[in-house]
Amino acid sequence: MSKRSNTSEHKQARKRAKRDENSAKYSDDSDGQKNEKKKSKKAYRQSESLKAVSQADIDSFLESNKIEVSDPIEGEQILRPIISFEHLPDEGDAIYKPLRNFRAPTSVQAATWPFLFSGRDVIGIAETGSGKTLGFGLPCLRKMVSLKNKKTKPSCPKAVIITPTRELAMQIHEHLEKYASPLGIKTTCIFGGVKKDDQWEALKSATVVVATPGRLKDLQGEGSVNLGKVKYLVLDEADRMLDKGFEQDIKEIVGTMPVSKRQTAMFTATWPVAVQNLAKNFTQNPITITVGGKPSADPRANTRIKQVVEVLSPRDKETRLLQILGQLQRKSSEDRVLVFCLYKKEATRIERFIQSKGYQVAGIHGDLSQSDRFKSLAAFKSGAVTVLVATDVAARGLDIPEVKTVVNVTFPLTIEDYVHRIGRTGRAGADGHAITLFTENDKTHSGALINVLKAAGQDVPESLLKFGTTVKKKQHGAYGAFFKDVDTAKSATKITFDD
Ligand SMILES: Nc1ncnc2c1ncn2[C@@H]1O[C@H](COP(=O)(O)OP(=O)(O)OP(=O)(O)O)[C@@H](O)[C@H]1O
């Protein structure tokens, strides 16, 4: 438990807890002001309409969405999920306007918003494509609104969202800007691989910064940004951010942010045991909210994705890939197909191969310039090309609703990456389809893959079972080999990440 659990605030919380011992766990008269953390001026008050919801309806929502809330502070009341947009605090607020495009909050939004609104640190774990961006994004902007009378000093942002890849940083920025700009809140996006000039300029007036770690650390080191005023920190794709390749950068970046006044949110679809303890170093008494059941050693795939695993010989992969693309193209020429490779050189080779067969194809991997990476993504999103060949740089977070099928040409290094890769389809309640070409070279992953398939109610082919069901212990730092500059046959040593 963190330091703050020994404070008088915590003692008071425990007293309150004793007093409330006999009251319902999911109280209908609790509000965020009772919570231990009173950081936001615009504290969370549960709306009257939410109070009016029957306990049976609340229980049924939590149960049917398999929402689990765990609070390290004993006895704290669990805030009711915001099941409908009508339950939002200060419902008429301009900040909520863009939500009108949606019918209701997703389950992760419903469960995490009350705690984030009330200033608590939150770890949110929910399947891919379940709306986690707004899960952390809306409370971020609401907090920025509450701090609006405190002017943002030049180059001193009040909120920072850190994310592993440049494309994802850009996507989150574009998403949040729709909500932020009508409110006059300036957001900017910071990532490596491009010149700094525009970033220096934008930082001067930005209240919210979405960034990849390397460039943020770089700008911080040269004094172009001061993180001493940050009140809201997000580690998106939190397990990746705490993994070895990024952990040191994150430590250095977060080390300069104030602890006592900072609220921290970590969101992800996969939460391996190896990083769970590390999260404690960056949070204070975080509430852990999982949607879809308690986090286990095995990551959970989105159950709306039909997962097909084909076991074949390595030399048959390309022929099979062509067959798959042909079948998909005949079905619908509009649907997008995302093809994953493990290594940059492999991605280049597969892209050229597909192109030589007459397909409109683009690529995303670390050997391409940033402007080429953005061009490929834009062409894929617009439909100018319908096939995108990528390394795991595109595995996390990217939200392209037209992606109907993911094909894994080579299995990723971790089972978490597999879950994220296939999660590029089946987003926001849609169905998806993932085909994995599995060869003898991937046999160390068979046990973990079988568990993921079983947990999602998918067929497990006999040919996969024959490789065995043992699950290898995960090593901290297993991610990231997709940036390695090697061919698939050799093992490499140097791992570098997006900056
Ligand atoms: N309340 C909602 N109702 C319907 N759709 C929503 C809602 N909130 C967000 N979405 C949409 O759902 C899609 C997926 O959201 P988002 O990218 O935030 O998912 P995610 O959980 O972060 O996924 P990943 O784990 O892959 O990063 C987006 O297109 C987003 O606009």
pLDDT at 296: 67
Going by alpha carbons, the residue nearest to atom 14 of ligand 1 is 129
Query: What is the residue type of 55?
Result: Q
CA atoms within 13 A on the CB side of 59: 6
Would you give the end-to-end CA distance of the chain in angstroms? 32
Closest C-alpha among 492, 159, 108, 93 to residue 292: 108
Strands 159-162 and 232-236, bridge-based pairing? parallel
86 alpha carbon to ligand 1 midpoint, in Å?
19
Going by alpha carbons, the residue nearest to atom 15 of ligand 1 is 131
**Sign of the torsion formed by the C-alpha atoms of 184, 185, 186 and 188:** negative
107, 108, 130, 290: which to mutate for ligand 1, most atoms within 8 A of CB? 130
Task: Compute the distance between CA of residue 369 and CA of residue 194 in angstroms, rounded to an integer.
Answer: 9
pLDDT at 473: 66
The DSSP symbol for 39 reads -
Task: Compute the distance between CA of residue 499 and CA of residue 145 in angstroms, rounded to an integer.
Answer: 30
399 alpha carbon to ligand 1 midpoint, in Å?
8
Which tokens go with 262? 């900072």
Helices (H), 317-433: 317-331, 344-356, 370-382, 415-422
82, 106, 113: which to mutate for ligand 1, most atoms within 8 A of CB? 106
pLDDT at 51: 95
Residues with CB under 6 A from ligand 1: 102, 105-106, 109, 128-134, 269, 397, 399, 423, 427-428
Rg (C-alpha) for the chain, rounded Å, is 23
109 alpha carbon to ligand 1 midpoint, in Å?
10
Question: Kind and range of the H or E element at 241?
Answer: helix 238-242
pLDDT at 477: 54
DSSP code string of 110-166: HHHHHHHHTT--EEEE--TTS-HHHHHHHHHHHHHHHTTTSPPPTT--SEEEE-S-H
Going by alpha carbons, the residue nearest to atom 5 of ligand 1 is 428
**Any bridge partners for residue 305, and if so which?**
432
Going by alpha carbons, the residue nearest to atom 23 of ligand 1 is 129
- Atom number in ligand 1 closest to CA 133: 18
Query: Rounded to the nearest 10 degrees, what angle do helices 370-382 and 166-180 cross at?
Result: 60
- Atom number in ligand 1 closest to CA 126: 21
pLDDT at 43: 75
pLDDT (tens digit, 0 to 9) for every residue of the chain, 499 residues total? Answer: 333 333 444 444 443 443 333 233 444 434 444 444 444 445 789 999 999 999 999 999 999 999 999 999 988 878 999 999 999 998 778 899 999 999 999 999 999 999 999 999 999 999 999 999 999 999 999 999 999 877 878 999 999 999 999 999 999 999 999 999 999 999 999 999 999 999 999 999 999 999 999 999 999 999 999 999 999 999 999 999 999 889 999 999 999 999 988 999 999 999 988 899 999 999 999 999 999 987 666 789 999 999 999 999 999 999 999 999 999 988 887 899 999 999 999 999 999 999 999 999 999 999 999 999 999 999 999 999 999 999 999 999 999 999 999 999 999 999 999 999 999 999 999 999 999 999 999 999 999 999 999 999 999 999 999 998 988 765 555 554 333 333 333 333 333 456 6
- Atom number in ligand 1 closest to CA 424: 26
CA atoms within 13 A on the CB side of 177: 13
442 alpha carbon to ligand 1 midpoint, in Å?
31
Q: Determine contact, residues 269/240, Cβ cutoff 8 Å.
A: no
133, 162, 173, 398: which to mutate for ligand 1, most atoms within 8 A of CB? 133
